[in-house]
Structure 1
Amino acid sequence: MSKTNQSPGAPAATLQQTGRSVRLSGLSKHYGDFAAVDGIDMDIRAGELLTLLGASGSGKTTTLSMIAGFTTPTEGTVLIDGEEITRVPPHKRNLGMVFQHYSLFPHMNVRTNVEFPLKQRGVPKAERRRRAMEALEVVELAHRAQARVTELSGGQQQRIALARALVFSPSVLLMDEPFGALDRALREKMQMEVRRIHRELGVTVVFVTHDQQEALTLSDRIAVFERGRIEQVGTPEDLYERPASLHVATFLGESNLLPGTVDGGVFVTRSGSRLSAGSAENGPATLVVRPEHVRVQPATGTGAGIAATVGEVVYLGADKRLVAVTADGEITARIAAAEGYRPGDDVRLGWEPGAAAVFPG
């Protein structure tokens, strides 16, 4: 990964890495009859930031733990740049790890906390100090090197944990729900910090979260997990605009769901409204459309679309959230702030061809 776009004042070259690729092949972890991870295959590209996204129990953290070496797979292999490391101990994998709980040493100051991994590796004292200060420069906390970690805020402590994971120049950085304990403002700030550091250092990052907005903000690509398997891997735009399954469509972003039936390329809602279904197969199905794709028009005539009554309008600044009541349930739309619809107005709802997806079941 080229570093020609490195920002002014970035650290010296010793912390910079060309990230290494990770391949998971047939990777499984069983606990008795329960498959926490069930035969996943995935290639993580060198230098990318890939997020493992899923609900609790979906298998994302177990997968990260097998990459780190903390959990032994039941089946399958883990390779870094083509070299198998499935049975290599964690401390010999040269992987950085950042947890939700920072695990900092309260009796040490900031610099000695960051130095600790180097001390464990037998790095000489002067070199440890130099590289620790370099890592602190990366997270913009060199000026607090002598402070006790107990004197720092939660966001600062998380940045110290990040510096400690970067100080020995890992080829891959693993992050397990690292911002879960932070408030919203700090989470958003730390997300931007991780993107900046990833861009400057070029390290491969594998990031675990259950927060869909965090995944969309951070990721080059996202792998959506469900019941120990990967439902879809793609860019945030791919997954949001072109979900491969109903689970991906509903888990990532806000969606309207209309149950019904497909008959000859036409989607028929339970109340009888007829909508284009594209190439969907005949049978029971669910139509999914994002709120920003729903068009709201006055209920004039009997044109195409779904008859509805405005139930609620919420002003959000740049736009409004409109909830319309139909014979098939509520449908949410995002409309321009200047639109003058009010509760009780009769409207018709529609969307451009291709804006909705239809999934069987």
Structure 2
Amino acid sequence: MTATPAPGAELRLAGLVKRYAGAAAVENVDLSVGSGEFLTLLGPSGSGKTTTLSMIAGFTEPSGGSVVCDGVEITAVPPHKRGLGMVFQNYSLFPHLSVRENVEFPLRQRGVPKPERARRALEALELVELRARASARPAQLSGGQQQRVALARALVFEPRLLLMDEPFGALDRALRERLQIELRRLHQELGVTVVFVTHDQEEALTLSDRIAVFNEGRIEQIGTPEELYARPGTLFVARFIGESNALRGRVSDGVLASEGGVRVPANGLPDGPAVAIVRPERLRVSGAPEAVDGCALDGRIRDITYLGAQRRVEITTDDGPVIVRSGTETPAPGAGESVRLSWAAADTAIFPTPDDATETRNPWTASLAPSTSSSPR
């Protein structure tokens, strides 16, 4: 691998569409990825994220729109001529070849002389800490090691754009977290542009410079992990990114009144049904009679789960079950005790409910512009 790698490629998708039998799997996706950026396509199954990645790679032909890499349109260019690295969930290693020979394969396809490709393959294996297993066959490796071989193979010809389709989805949690750390290190060292697909929100928050949240073939919102978590632009994003509490009610004269009696300022929202979203870590728990500033809701502790550095407390209220996450450094009320929940009104995001056809976007965050930063996190 070169000591000073070339900067990552810039990618732009313009009006990208894919239809199957008249049904849209991807509908009018516009997306720009900066040089060296780590962008994640996040969404539930069937949301269009993998189809979008497949169109970038050239495996799926778009029904409309364009794919542009470094200012050159590659929409009609065959996959093998796009110069992109690709890592799949199922590894796709050749069982009859050694680890080194698997990594060499892209170089052999490109006509690189044997001594040169052997040297570069060993360097790529060094990057993923597998040089000592160069002579092994894939069947002799663990699942995590095989995935690292697949990553080395994708990086060995020094692509400027790396595509990854749920590469850690089949691994156990501990191994997945370790490989996430390794991938972040490699991304920072090599400066390659990465487009990563996952349905795992925690993985997306850990790895990404920016995240594009997909839903029903469209991008709901693009932003940094911090922006999406703290300032979700739609009710779908608020519910999909991180754990949240939903308090249903109605907006009237600029105030949302929940079914349990909570009143929250809702300036700018039309009168009608709405839902208030509050993150579990924003809630404070105190004794029931205690007066509080901001929003308050009474309830009774139903269950407490110890999570090491945190407690997850489930509380029954007139607004339904509410989850609180708090530190373990101080004693907590016990199950069955009455408590008062409180939080700042500014920590509440309010959305008209989906059955309100006039608006489903939060006017507090709808104008949030996607970050243009492409520096690794």
Fold match by TM threshold 0.5: yes
Instruction: Say whether 1:306 aligns with 2:288.
Output: no
1:87 aligns to what SS in structure 2?
coil
Instruction: Say whether 1:94 aligns with 2:86.
Output: no
- What is the TM-score when the length of structure 2 is the normalising length? 0.90
| Of 111, 114, 122, the match for 1:122 | 111
Given that 1:12 and 1:134 are in contact with CA atoms closer than 8 Å, whether structure 2 keeps it comes out as no
Given that 1:29 and 1:37 are in contact with CA atoms closer than 8 Å, whether structure 2 keeps it comes out as yes
| Whole-angstrom distance in 1 between the partners of 2:316 and 2:83 | 56
2:346 aligns to what SS in structure 1?
coil
Give the equivalent residue in structure 1 for 2:333: 341
Given that 2:290 and 2:340 are in contact with CA atoms closer than 8 Å, whether structure 1 keeps it comes out as no
Instruction: Say whether 1:355 aligns with 2:344.
Output: no
Given that 1:313 and 1:341 are in contact with CA atoms closer than 8 Å, whether structure 2 keeps it comes out as no
- What is the TM-score when the length of structure 1 is the normalising length? 0.94
Deviations 1:177-207 (A, max 9, x none): 1011111111111111111110000000000
Deviations 1:210-256 (A, max 9, x none): 00000011111100000000000110000000000000010010000
Given that 2:264 and 2:345 are in contact with CA atoms closer than 8 Å, whether structure 1 keeps it comes out as no
1:200 aligns to what SS in structure 2?
helix
Higher mean alpha-carbon deviation, 120-129 vs 337-346, is at 337-346
Cα distance, 1:301–1:95 mapped onto 2, change above 3 Å: closer
| Whole-angstrom distance in 2 between the partners of 1:113 and 1:127 | 15
| Whole-angstrom distance in 2 between the partners of 1:355 and 1:272 | 17
| Of 217, 224, 244, the match for 2:233 | 244
Give the equivalent residue in structure 2 for 1:328: 319
Given that 2:162 and 2:192 are in contact with CA atoms closer than 8 Å, whether structure 1 keeps it comes out as yes
Deviation at 1:274, TM superposition (A): 2.0
Deviation at 1:296, TM superposition (A): 1.3
Given that 2:48 and 2:217 are in contact with CA atoms closer than 8 Å, whether structure 1 keeps it comes out as yes
| Gap runs ≥5 in structure 1 | 1-10
Give the equivalent residue in structure 1 for 2:69: 80
Equivalent residue runs for 1:1-361 within 5 Å = 12-13=2-3, 16-300=5-289, 305-337=296-328, 338-361=330-353
Deviation at 1:278, TM superposition (A): 4.3
Deviation at 1:149, TM superposition (A): 1.6
Deviation at 1:67, TM superposition (A): 0.3
| Whole-angstrom distance in 1 between the partners of 2:161 and 2:63 | 23
Equivalent residue letter for 1:354:
A
Given that 2:184 and 2:207 are in contact with CA atoms closer than 8 Å, whether structure 1 keeps it comes out as yes
| Whole-angstrom distance in 2 between the partners of 1:57 and 1:246 | 19
Given that 1:275 and 1:305 are in contact with CA atoms closer than 8 Å, whether structure 2 keeps it comes out as no
Deviations 1:141-194 (A, max 9, x none): 111111112111111110000010011111100000101111111111111111
Equivalent residue letter for 1:74:
S
Give the equivalent residue in structure 2 for 1:5: none
| Whole-angstrom distance in 1 between the partners of 2:156 and 2:34 | 22
| Whole-angstrom distance in 1 between the partners of 2:327 and 2:118 | 55
Deviations 1:301-354 (A, max 9, x none): 666511211111222222211111111101111123213311222221121131
Sequence identity of aligned pairs in percent?
60
What value does the CA root-mean-square deviation take over the aligned residues? 1.3
1:127 aligns to what SS in structure 2?
helix
2:89 aligns to what SS in structure 1?
coil
- State how many pairs are aligned: 350
| Whole-angstrom distance in 1 between the partners of 2:112 and 2:327 | 59
| Whole-angstrom distance in 1 between the partners of 2:146 and 2:326 | 41
Cα distance, 1:27–1:205 mapped onto 2, change above 3 Å: same
Deviation at 1:275, TM superposition (A): 2.5
| Whole-angstrom distance in 1 between the partners of 2:236 and 2:58 | 29
| Whole-angstrom distance in 2 between the partners of 1:316 and 1:102 | 33
Cα distance, 1:348–1:79 mapped onto 2, change above 3 Å: same
Give the equivalent residue in structure 1 for 2:358: none
| Whole-angstrom distance in 1 between the partners of 2:256 and 2:36 | 43
1:197 aligns to what SS in structure 2?
helix
2:349 aligns to what SS in structure 1?
strand
Deviations 1:42-99 (A, max 9, x none): 1011101100000000000000000000001000000011110000000110000000
Higher mean alpha-carbon deviation, 60-69 vs 309-318, is at 309-318
Equivalent residue letter for 1:347:
V
| Whole-angstrom distance in 2 between the partners of 1:94 and 1:147 | 28
